[in-house]
Amino acid sequence: MTDLQGPRRFGPVRWRRLRSLRVRLIAVFAVVALTTAVSASGIAYWLNRDAVLKRAQDTALNDFRVSLTRNVSELPLGATCEELTALAAQVASSGLSYDVLVVDDAHPECTASSDPSLYTLAQVPVPLRTTVNKPRELTASNSDAYHLYWQRQNLSGRPFLIGGTKVVPTGPTAYMFKSLENERADLNTLGWSLAIATLLALIGSALLAQAASATVLRPVKRLGEAARQLGEGRLDTRLEVEGADELADLARTFNRTAESLHEQVEELSAREAQSRRFVADMSHELRTPLTAMTAVTDILEDEAESLDPMIEPAVRLVVSETRRLSDLVENLMEVTRFDAGTAKLVADEVDIADLIMSCIDGRAWYDAVELDAPRGVRAVVDPRRLDVVFANLIGNALKHGGSPVRVKVRERGENVVVAVSDSGPGIPEDVLPHVFDRFYKADKGRARSEGSGLGLSIAMANAQIHGGTIEAANGEQGAVFTLTLPLTQPRPADQDEDIR
Amino acid sequence: MGQNEAVPFLLLIEDDDAIRTGLELALTRQGHRVAAAASGEDGLKLFKEQRPDLIVLDVMLPGIDGFEVCRRIRRTDQLPIILLTARSDDIDVVVGLESGADDYVVKPVQPRVLDARIRAVLRRGERESSDSSAYGSVVIDRSAMTVTKDGEDLQLTPTELRLLLELSRRPGQALSRQQLLRLVWEHDYLGDSRLVDACVQRLRAKVEDVPSAPTLIRTVRGVGYRLDPPA
């Protein structure tokens, strides 16, 4: 609890810790234990104190009264200071261990004390002196004018009972001094015992609270751990249900929730896998006839010129659409491979500039592309996948942005950055977030696109399988697609044997 | 081998009727003589009867599959084999190359591409110069296009032979996988480096004393391969 005064810089964390269930439980237990123990000890102490003091007082005062009554009768009228001193000594010696002081108004200078060095009139409190010397009215219930009065007083740090009375109306006044040192020692011992008992109760309650919180908190902690695992996707996480309390109920509820979550997720992923398999199977099935058709398209194309002018366009249509279909199916299969996570990287170390140059050359784009690529930027990549990325980015820029398309290659730290920018109108802001979506067509009015609608999404997937990414933005002039790729890939182990 | 005959004789093994007919048509038109078989068993039988120059082999076949056909042919013969696979990035390619195939094409294949691959692989067996060189116990005779180890003839496929020749032309110099793909396979910049790795493994199995600890054909990390003249 003293932590509350701790440094503020730990603020929120400390606060949270202080407000934790464990701390609160211990605090509550401690407060209850403290209140109970302190009030019980307090009452016990005060009752005891009263009883002890009362008994000591009564005994001493009774004894003083008896002894004084017995001895005062022998005192002559107008007694001298010596006689008064003798009386004091006599009264003191006859009784219990107390001292006596006798005062007579006739001898104000006389200190008639059983121990004159210690007990003088100055030590008797004035109120007591006044009360003792004041006669009381005689009534039916009050037969004497003077009574025995007492007061507890500390004399030089020690507790004393001081009693006083006038024996006869004209006679001297006697005071007794009874030390309460023993009683105080007894009461101190009692006080210490009670304090220690309170402390023990406090410690006990803290331990008890700790134990109680542990029995509550252990299941809570396990529940928290299980919930975390569930959140991380381990849907088979279950809790052991112990007992029949609220926490067991909670555990059962958790298990039921996890169970139903598990079922739903399984059903969903089964359905997703099914539809994925369907697409994969379908593209696969489409491929067989396409392979046969592709095999003969070259023949048809070669012969088209010698065909009837009515038939030639039909043949050319079949040829071009077969190629389109075959591209589409290839792209579909590629997408399903990425979805199923079976796409593999066949990595090799290549010069990025060479790769881009070959990509541009191979597609006869040389006139339309301005290449700013220093030689010597070598990266471990799958050249065929990267070629797909470049072909898609540059092809897309040529198609939608128009030439000249600028391709800039830079090495930046552990990455190579390739920026492909065009000279077109740029990408509308509302389209920008969707450019990598499958079959997303920026121009909805266009009935047919030249591409499959999968190009940029495949480019993105290919970048990602390399641990890279592609970002689309609008530059100063036209759209800019920026590919960022790490320079190195984990190489397959089989290429690493026998190496210097 | 009949690589110098005017018309290359190909054996096409493919189970799908349409693909078989289509490819037969296209390859015939490209100037090849084509025999076709619809299953692995038929293919092996035709192969023994007709001794083709090259085999174009589908991987997915009913009965014994393409890999097994490839392995059985390799036990006795070193003629070039080109695989027809479903896709370029899966295990089929690796297994196919390990079974001894020289090259592969992915369906649906353009007949022009297949023709280029066929001609490239057939060119590998052609003679070029007329010298010979020795690397330890391995002797390469370029005029006879033979390789001997400890005086015994090694049975190398044209691809393996060409790879060894290209490496031995520049002893001690590392050649990258991409360079080797261009020199041996005549592939463009998008060649599959696994072709090189698989062929090197097969070549090592034949020419090295201990194939797992090669001393002749060394791997150079981050670059490619190198033929080391024995010390």
CATH numeric code, A23-189: 3.30.450
Peptide bond into A383 cis (omega under 30): no
CATH numeric code, A246-339: 1.10.287
Q: Measure in Å the smallest separation between the Cα of B222 and chain A Cα atoms.
A: 7
Summarised one tens digit per residue, pLDDT across range B57-90 is: 999 898 898 999 999 999 988 899 999 987 766 7
Do the Cβ atoms of A362 and B189 come within 8 Å? yes
Do the Cβ atoms of B109 and A294 come within 8 Å? yes
Q: Measure in Å the smallest separation between the Cα of A267 and chain B Cα atoms.
A: 28
Contacts with A329 from chain B: Cβ below 8 Å: 108
| Angle B23-B27-B29 from CA coordinates, rounded to 5° | 120
Nearest 10 degrees: Cα torsion A181, A182, A183, A186: 120
Do the Cβ atoms of A290 and B111 come within 8 Å? no
Contacts with B87 from chain A: Cβ below 8 Å: 333, 337
Instruction: Please spell the DSSP secondary structure of B156-208, one letter per residue.
Output: --HHHHHHHHHHHHSTT--EEHHHHIIIII---TT--HHHHHHHHHHHHHHH-
CA-based nearest residue in chain B for residue A342: B90
Do the Cβ atoms of B219 and A498 come within 8 Å? yes
Do the Cβ atoms of A346 and B218 come within 8 Å? no
Q: Residue B117: in which H helix or E strand, if any?
A: helix B111-123
Q: Measure in Å the smallest separation between the Cα of B15 and chain A Cα atoms.
A: 11
CATH 1.10.10.10 fits B132-227, yes or no: yes
Do the Cβ atoms of B189 and A343 come within 8 Å? no
Do the Cβ atoms of B111 and A344 come within 8 Å? no
Beta bridge partners of B132: B141
CB-closest option in A290, A326, A350 to B178 = A350
Length reported for chain A: 500
> What tokens appear for A462 in the block?
């290919």
Three-class SS string for B35-88?
Answer: EEECCHHHHHHHHHHHCCCEEEEECCCCCCCHHHHHHHHHHHCCCCEEEEECCC
Kindly report the number of other CB atoms within 10 A of residue A297's CB atom.
23
Going by DSSP bridges, is the β-strand pair A469-474/A479-486 parallel, antiparallel, or unpaired?
Answer: antiparallel
Chain B positions contacting chain A at CB under 8 Å are 16, 18-19, 21-23, 25-26, 29, 86-90, 107-112, 176-178, 188-194, 197, 212-214, 218-223
pLDDT at res. B225: 92
Cα–chain center distance at A36: 33
- Short-list A232, A337, A320, CA closest to A279: A337
For chain A, the 3-state helix, strand and coil shares in percent, each to the nearest 5, are: 55, 15, 30
C-alpha separations of A125 from A150, A162, A168, A174, B205 in Å:
10, 9, 21, 14, 122
Do the Cβ atoms of A299 and B26 come within 8 Å? yes
Q: Measure in Å the smallest separation between the Cα of B22 and chain A Cα atoms.
A: 5
Contacts with A291 from chain B: Cβ below 8 Å: 16, 18-19, 22, 107-109
Kindly report the number of other CB atoms within 10 A of residue A384's CB atom.
18
Query: B9-123 has which fold?
Result: Rossmann fold (3.40.50)
pTM for the structure as a whole? 0.59
**A448-461 as b/e: b if 16+ CB within 10 A:** eeebbebbbbbbbb
Q: Measure in Å the smallest separation between the Cα of B131 and chain A Cα atoms.
A: 30
**Where do the DSSP E strands lie in B86-141?**
103-106, 132-135, 138-141
Mutate to test the interface with B, among A495, A497, A499 (most CBs of B within 10 A): A495
Q: Taking a C-beta distance cutoff of 8 angstroms, is the pair B90, A345 a contact?
A: no
Do the Cβ atoms of B178 and A383 come within 8 Å? yes
Helix (H, G, I), strand (E, B) or coil at A173: strand
Contacts with A384 from chain B: Cβ below 8 Å: 88, 190, 192
| Angle A70-A74-A80 from CA coordinates, rounded to 5° | 125
**B155-164 as b/e: b if 16+ CB within 10 A:** ebbbbbbbbb
Contacts with A354 from chain B: Cβ below 8 Å: 189
pLDDT at res. A338: 85
- Short-list A313, A483, A314, A308, CA closest to A394: A483
Contacts with B89 from chain A: Cβ below 8 Å: 337, 343-344, 346
Contacts with B179 from chain A: Cβ below 8 Å: none
Identify the DSSP state of A144.
-
Contacts with A496 from chain B: Cβ below 8 Å: 219, 221
pLDDT band at B43 (very low <50, low <70, confident <90, very high): very high
| Continuous H helices in A312-444 | 312-340, 352-362, 383-396
Beta bridge partners of A379: A350
Mutate to test the interface with B, among A320, A338, A346 (most CBs of B within 10 A): A346
Contacts with A293 from chain B: Cβ below 8 Å: 22, 108
**Cα-Cα end-to-end distance for chain A:** 65
Q: Model ipTM?
A: 0.76
**Domain boundaries for CATH 3.40.50.2300 within chain B:** 9-123
Q: Taking a C-beta distance cutoff of 8 angstroms, is the pair A239, A63 a contact?
A: no
Q: How far apart are CA B123 and CA B109, in angstroms?
A: 21
Beta bridge partners of A417: A410, A484
> What tokens appear for A377 in the block?
């930027």
Do the Cβ atoms of A344 and B89 come within 8 Å? yes
A–B: how many Cβ contacts below 8 A? 106
Q: Give the residue carrying structure tokens 């001493």.
A: A60
Instruction: Please spell the DSSP secondary structure of A247-310, one letter per residue.
Output: HHHHHHHHHHHHHHHHHHHHHHHHHHHHHHHHHHHHHHHHHHHHHHHHHHHHHHHHHHTTS-TT
Q: Residue B8: in which H helix or E strand, if any?
A: none
pLDDT at res. A14: 59
| pLDDT tens digits in sequence order for chain A, 500 residues long | 444 444 445 555 556 666 677 788 888 888 888 898 889 888 988 998 899 889 888 888 888 888 888 887 777 777 778 888 888 888 887 667 788 888 877 777 777 777 777 777 788 888 888 888 887 777 777 777 778 888 888 888 888 888 888 877 777 888 888 888 888 888 899 989 989 988 998 888 888 888 888 887 887 888 888 889 888 888 888 888 877 788 888 888 888 988 998 899 899 989 988 888 888 888 878 888 899 999 899 888 888 888 888 888 999 999 999 988 888 888 888 888 888 787 888 888 888 998 898 888 888 888 888 889 888 888 888 888 999 999 999 988 888 877 789 999 999 888 999 999 988 888 888 888 888 888 876 665 444 455 668 888 999 999 999 999 999 998 888 889 999 999 887 544 444 444 33
C-alpha separations of B130 from A494, B124, B142 in Å:
36, 16, 5
Summarised one tens digit per residue, pLDDT across range A19-77 is: 677 788 888 888 888 898 889 888 988 998 899 889 888 888 888 888 888 887 777 77
Where exactly are the structural domains of chain A?
23-189, 246-339, 346-440+451-491
Do the Cβ atoms of A500 and B221 come within 8 Å? yes
CA-based nearest residue in chain B for residue A329: B108
Q: How far apart are CA B203 and CA B187, in angstroms?
A: 20
Mutate to test the interface with B, among A283, A284, A285, A294 (most CBs of B within 10 A): A294
Kindly report the number of other CB atoms within 10 A of residue A142's CB atom.
10
Kindly report the number of other CB atoms within 10 A of residue A97's CB atom.
10
Query: A346-440+451-491 has which fold?
Result: Heat Shock Protein 90 (3.30.565)
CA-based nearest residue in chain A for residue B193: A348
Do the Cβ atoms of B25 and A346 come within 8 Å? no
